[in-house]
Amino acid sequence: MLTANSAVAVELKGVVKRYHELVAVNKLNLSINVGEIFGLLGPNGSGKSTTLKMMLGLVKPDEGSITVLGKDVQKDAVAVKQQVGYVPESPRLYEFLTGIEYLDFIGDIYGISTEEKKNRITEYLRALQLEGREGDMISSYSEGMKQKIALISAFLHRPRLLILDEPLNALDPRSARIVKEVLHKLKTQGVTTIMSTHVLEIAQAICDRIGIMYQGKLLALGNMNELRQMAKLPDSGLEDIFLNLTGSADLKAVVEELLK
Amino acid sequence: MNWRNILALMHVERKSGRLLRGVKLTRYRESGFFAYWPYWVGLAFGVGAGLLAGLIYSKTILTEADVMLLFREGTVSIFLTLPTLVLVYNLVFTMLQQIQRSGIKASSQVPYWLPVTWEEYTLASILANLLGFPLASIIFIVSTIMTFSAFSSQLLFASITSFAVLGAAFMASALTEILRILQVRFIGAVYKTSGRAAVWVRFFGSLFFFLAFYIIYLYVTSGGAITFIQTIKSTQTTAWFIPFVWLGMMLYSFTSGLLIQGSVFLVLSILFLAGLFFLAALLNKQFGLYEPPAIKISRGAYVPRTGFLGKLGFTATEAALIRKDLRAFTRRRELMSVFIIPIVLILVQVMQSTGSTMATPSAQVFVYLAASTFLLPSTVTAISLGNFMIGEEGQAIWRIYASPISAKTLVKSKYFFIIFFSVIVLAITGALAFIVYNPSLRATIVAYIEALFLICALGAISLSNGIKGADFTEIPRPRMIRLSWSLINLGICLMASVAILAPFFPFALSAMLPETVPNLTLEAFLNPLLALAISAIIAVILTGIFYQIAIRNARDLLTKTEI
Ligand SMILES: Nc1ncnc2c1ncn2[C@@H]1O[C@H](COP(=O)(O)OP(=O)(O)O)[C@@H](O)[C@H]1O
Ligand SMILES: [Mg+2]
């Protein structure tokens, strides 16, 4: 359990991850508060997925330390994982199971009681419009349907921390909206969410704070107002701030060059 | 046809073998020489073998003329059978390859959005199936006969044979391609009609397919290489109307001096090759994009089940893992082959004992057969399950990493699964052995208990190595365990089985050689019960040690490996 004074859900201190000569994450310091929805933004290959994986111990940092829910992810792995819901980027599920068998498996892994398991699975399947297909093998699902199953399996055990890598990938607008609402609702219950995303409107709409990564470093961190000040673009939206900070503001020339 | 497209498609296929677990490369460097090492090895061995045979030949040529004649005749008759021989083993190899890959959609998916025609795709697919071992062996054969024929001045004949061998390999691969497409289409139709029973239809259908295939293979090769070649030679001429032996018939006609007949078979072979290719292309055009309909396993409201695993004392997590693996092994075609191994082992036994050479097997052989029917199939099941249990998770392994599953839980559920299935196999094969060989009750009980010891110990050993050497690569086929670790495992398992069975070697000896080691004098100083006890102690110690090693390896896997 969390001690009363630690309102920090995840803390990264001087985290470095190298893949041979490539530095994927470079001296990252980050502290995410309990009950916060935190958005991780950045161009492709900027180190978002690697950062999220390190928070769950799926990738080991070369330097630095990571504390999740007051525990060391390496030492207390099982206890941490019990409290976390994780959706990887393009999740590979057990394709030979049906949707319902997969969720049943997840329920058992996290030790949810039979009655709870039944209620929650049925509700989520209905909410995300998977009814009628839950008895089919996952190998026949579309990308969006697989993403829904992965999301449900992250929510199912009521975790205290959600780590979502591009959670709205391949989702239809209605389901994306539902996921957004669910995250909001969970926030009121004190659940912390850390997500990476490409969809800037969503980040702008639901994230309390946003971190912009570039080449493994945190370029900017703060809420929308703070980011605007940082980029010296007082009235702009996230897209302009993002492009300004990641040094890709002058896109016209790039496009001209492409279509020459 | 655009040859550059075909080459490009084949390159993709070749490079798909690059993914290896644990190798994190930011840039792939590849030396041209080492990338093609199987072919260089094939060439080196081929030239070596050809040189050796050639030198022996040129020695005899000077001394004994009749030996030389025999030598030449022998070569000719081997050359004659080569196309059919190459056809058969390439067919076996490419079919097995298809089965292994059947679980992976990505590798067999047609890149239909690319500007590639179906003919180009089909040709690339047929040729790519021959890359690797088939091509290396063809290079070996061709380089052997070409080198040798330089000594025996049969160069022209050897070159024609070489082309025939290439044609035969192409025939085999094209036939595999045709069967693959038809199979996918056929399976789809079966799913549609069988509805919810589709999983079981598929399971037993696949088992049946494997079995039929193995029986044919065993039947063809049971007599060893020489008989096989003789069989081909004798049946080839009587089965001349079967297009697959036309290449062999062409060679036969040429050596018999029937030039016109030979030319006819040559033309017929080329036409048949083209026909196979166009049929494959046509089928691909028709069904290449076909995907079997989804298998619907359950309908209606969701009712969670507690199941009997819970009653056995397993926690919910352990039971869930076991249930998931049970489904994996009954639903994933590439894993079903595990069940085939014990059946094939039994088949081999039965074929040997009913073989015409041993109408009434002697007592020694009898004891050996009975004992191995008891011990072998279940033990092999334990070893192969142990090897695959972790690696079969494949790319979905992140699910295990991200879940609150401890190393102990993981090993416990995987180990139970291994023991569970091996014991089922033991029960069946033991009953069979009892019926067929009818050993004494005492021997039966001892055999059952010893088999159980072997299953427990070898299961733990194989699991520990299966975790250590786990390979989650799935493309172009699920690897499950690295080759080096499966070999290490085999060595350890062999030593462990010798250790466990050692107390019974004197008894086996006395049963096989009753004159040298009479049973009565033996039992005076080694009681069978004592032997059983010693064996039990060794088995328990080995099981305990390797179970702990398995847990340690699992802990390493869960904390150290990255995905
Ligand atoms: N297993 C790996 N091996 C080598 N390089 C990797 C591996 N995983 C990630 N990288 C590299 O690390 C960098 C960051 O990747 P990632 O965290 O996935 O980026 P993002 O999610 O922001 O798009 C990329 O340059 C990527 O190529
Ligand atoms: Mg990413």
Q: Which residue of A has its CA nearest to B332?
A: A96
Q: Give the confidence band of B420 by pLDDT, cuts at 50, 70, 90.
A: very high
pLDDT digits (tens, 9 = 90+) for B496-520: 999 999 998 888 777 777 777 666 6
Residues of A in contact with B327 (CB under 8 A): 96-97, 101
Report how many Cβ contacts below 8 Å link chain A to chain B: 115
Interface with A, mutate which of B187, B191, B296, B303 (most A CBs under 10 A): B296
**pLDDT above 60: residue B105:** no
Sign for the pseudo-dihedral over CA of A169, A174, A178, A180: positive
A71 plus A37 within the same structural domain: yes
A171 plus A72 within the same structural domain: yes
Chain B 393-432, CB below 8 Å of chain A: which residues?
A: 394-396, 398-399, 401-406
d(CA A69, CA B254): 81
A204 plus A221 within the same structural domain: yes
- Segment B26-39 mean pLDDT: 69
CB contact set of B309 (below 8 Å; sequence gap of 6+)? B318, B319, B322, B323
Of A125, A158, A191, which residue constitutes the final position of a domain? A158
Q: Shortest CB distance from A56 goes to which of B324, B394, B402?
A: B402
Which residues are found with C-beta within 5 Å of the ion, ligand 2? Answer: A 48-49, 89
Contact B319 A137 (CB under 8 A): no
Closest C-alpha among B495, B427, B503 to residue B457:
B495
Query: Distance of alpha carbon B180 from its chain centroid, rounded?
Result: 18
* The pLDDT value given to residue B236: 74
d(CA B264, CA B240): 12
Of A137, A158, A179, which residue constitutes the final position of a domain? A158
A77 plus A201 within the same structural domain: yes
Contact B398 A136 (CB under 8 A): no
CB contact set of B462 (below 8 Å; sequence gap of 6+)? B382, B383, B384, B385, B386, B387, B418, B489, B493
C-alpha of residue A45 to centroid of ligand 2, in Å: 7
Neighbours of B457 (CB within 10 A): 27
Helical axes A143-155 vs A173-188, angle rounded to 10°: 10
pLDDT digits (tens, 9 = 90+) for B340-371: 888 888 877 776 665 544 445 566 667 777 77
* The pLDDT value given to residue B97: 80
Q: Give the confidence band of A259 by pLDDT, cuts at 50, 70, 90.
A: confident
A72 plus A169 within the same structural domain: yes
Q: Which domain holds residue A182?
A: 8-83+160-258
- Segment B418-445 mean pLDDT: 89
Neighbours of A3 (CB within 10 A): 7
Phi, psi of A165 (to 5 degrees): -100, 110
d(CA B275, CA B271): 6
The ligand placed nearest to the CA atom of residue A58 is 1
Q: How far apart are the two ends of chain A, measured CA to CA in Å? A: 60
Closest C-alpha among B106, B99, B247, B93 to residue B166:
B247
Residue whose CA lies nearest to ligand 1 atom number 27: A45
How is residue B403 annotated by DSSP?
A: S
Contact B302 A122 (CB under 8 A): yes
Closest C-alpha among A113, A108, A81, A117 to residue B316:
A108
C-alpha of residue A213 to centroid of ligand 1, in Å: 13
In this structure, the residues whose C-beta lies within 6 A of any atom of ligand 1 are A 19, 22, 24, 42, 44-50; B 24, 26
The ligand placed nearest to the CA atom of residue A25 is 1
A251 plus A168 within the same structural domain: yes
A71 plus A183 within the same structural domain: yes
A62 plus A102 within the same structural domain: no
Structure tokens at A240: 């302009």
Contact B404 A81 (CB under 8 A): yes
Interface with B, mutate which of A58, A75, A103, A108 (most B CBs under 10 A): A108
Interface with A, mutate which of B401, B475, B551 (most A CBs under 10 A): B401
Contact B447, B532 (CB under 8 A): no
C-alpha of residue A45 to centroid of ligand 1, in Å: 5
Contact B177, B95 (CB under 8 A): no
C-alpha of residue A53 to centroid of ligand 1, in Å: 11
User: How is the beta sheet containing A161-165 ordered, strand by strand?
Assistant: A84-87, A161-165, A192-196, A37-41, A209-214, A217-222
pLDDT digits (tens, 9 = 90+) for B202-244: 788 878 877 777 777 776 666 666 667 777 777 777 777 888 8
DSSP characters over B321-384: HHHHHHHHHHH-HHHHHHHHHHHHHHHHHHHHHTSGGGSS--HHHHHHHHHHHHHHHHHHHHHH
DSSP characters over A25-81: EEEEEEEEETT-EEEEE-STTSSHHHHHHHHTTSS--SEEEEEETTEETTTTHHHHH
**Number of domains, chain A:** 2
Model confidence, pTM = 0.85
* The pLDDT value given to residue A160: 95
Contact B297 A77 (CB under 8 A): no
Structure tokens at B365: 């052989």
A73 plus A180 within the same structural domain: yes
Neighbours of B17 (CB within 10 A): 15
Of A112, A143, A158, which residue constitutes the final position of a domain? A158
Q: Within a domain: residue A2?
A: no
A207 plus A253 within the same structural domain: yes
Choice among A99-113, B202-216, B433-447, B452-466 with the minimum mean pLDDT: B202-216
Pairing of strands A192-196, A22-33: unpaired
Residues of B in contact with A22 (CB under 8 A): 26
Contact B146, B162 (CB under 8 A): yes
- Ligand 1, atom nearest to B26 Cα: 4
pLDDT digits (tens, 9 = 90+) for A32-72: 999 999 999 988 899 999 999 999 988 999 999 999 999 98
Residues of A in contact with B331 (CB under 8 A): 96, 137
* The pLDDT value given to residue B358: 46
Q: Within a domain: residue A46?
A: yes
Q: Mean pLDDT in chain B?
A: 83
- Ligand 1, atom nearest to A89 Cα: 21
How is residue B195 annotated by DSSP?
A: G
Q: Within a domain: residue A3?
A: no
Task: Tell me the nearest-neighbour CA distance from A110 into chain B, angstroms.
Answer: 7
- Ligand 1, atom nearest to A42 Cα: 22
* The pLDDT value given to residue B469: 92
Place of tokens 């072998």: B376
- Segment B462-489 mean pLDDT: 90
Residue whose CA lies nearest to ligand 1 atom number 3: B24
* The pLDDT value given to residue B108: 46
- Ligand 1, atom nearest to A216 Cα: 14
Chain B 78-117, CB below 8 Å of chain A: which residues?
A: 105
Q: How would you label B245-283 residue by residue, b for 16+ Cβ within 10 Å and e otherwise?
A: bbbbbbbbbbbeeeeebbeebbeebeebbeebbebbbeb
C-alpha of residue A47 to centroid of ligand 1, in Å: 6
C-alpha of residue A92 to centroid of ligand 2, in Å: 15
pLDDT digits (tens, 9 = 90+) for A83-97: 999 999 989 999 999
Q: Shortest CB distance from B398 goes to which of A22, A92, A135?
A: A92
Q: Within a domain: residue A1?
A: no
DSSP characters over B72-92: HHHHHHHHHHHHHHHHHHHHH
How is residue A137 annotated by DSSP?
A: B
Contact A4, A34 (CB under 8 A): no
Where in chain B are the domains? Answer: 37-287, 314-560
User: How is the beta sheet containing A22-33 ordered, strand by strand?
Assistant: A22-33, A8-19, A63-68, A71-72
From A12, A18, A19, A28, mutation site for ligand 1 pocket: most ligand atoms within 8 A of C-beta: A19
Contact B39, B493 (CB under 8 A): no
Q: Shortest CB distance from B563 goes to which of A58, A95, A104?
A: A58
pLDDT digits (tens, 9 = 90+) for B170-206: 999 999 999 888 887 887 787 777 777 777 887 888 7
Interface with A, mutate which of B105, B398, B556 (most A CBs under 10 A): B398
Contact B21, B470 (CB under 8 A): yes
Q: Which residue of A has its CA nearest to B317?
A: A109
Q: Which residue of A has its CA nearest to B392?
A: A94
Contact B158, B39 (CB under 8 A): no
- Segment B437-461 mean pLDDT: 91
Q: Within a domain: residue A105?
A: yes
d(CA B31, CA B439): 59
A146 plus A170 within the same structural domain: no
Interface with B, mutate which of A49, A50, A137 (most B CBs under 10 A): A137
Tell me whether B537 touches chain A (CB under 8 Å).
no
Report how many helices (DSSP H) and strands (DSSP E) chain B contains, helices first: 23, 2
The ligand placed nearest to the CA atom of residue A211 is 1
Radius of gyration of chain A (CA): 19
CATH, residue A52: 3.40.50.300
Q: Mean pLDDT in chain A?
A: 88
Q: Within a domain: residue A135?
A: yes
Contact A19 B26 (CB under 8 A): yes
Q: Within a domain: residue A137?
A: yes
Contact A20 B25 (CB under 8 A): yes
Q: How many Cα neighbours within 13 Å face the side chain of B254? A: 22
Q: Which residue of A has its CA nearest to B555?
A: A77
Helical axes B37-63 vs B65-101, angle rounded to 10°: 160
Task: Tell me the nearest-neighbour CA distance from B319 into chain A, angstroms.
Answer: 8
A133 plus A118 within the same structural domain: yes
Radius of gyration of chain B (CA): 27
3-state secondary structure of A220: strand
Neighbours of A197 (CB within 10 A): 22
Chain B 467-526, CB below 8 Å of chain A: which residues?
A: none
* The pLDDT value given to residue B180: 84
From B18, B19, B23, B24, mutation site for ligand 1 pocket: most ligand atoms within 8 A of C-beta: B24
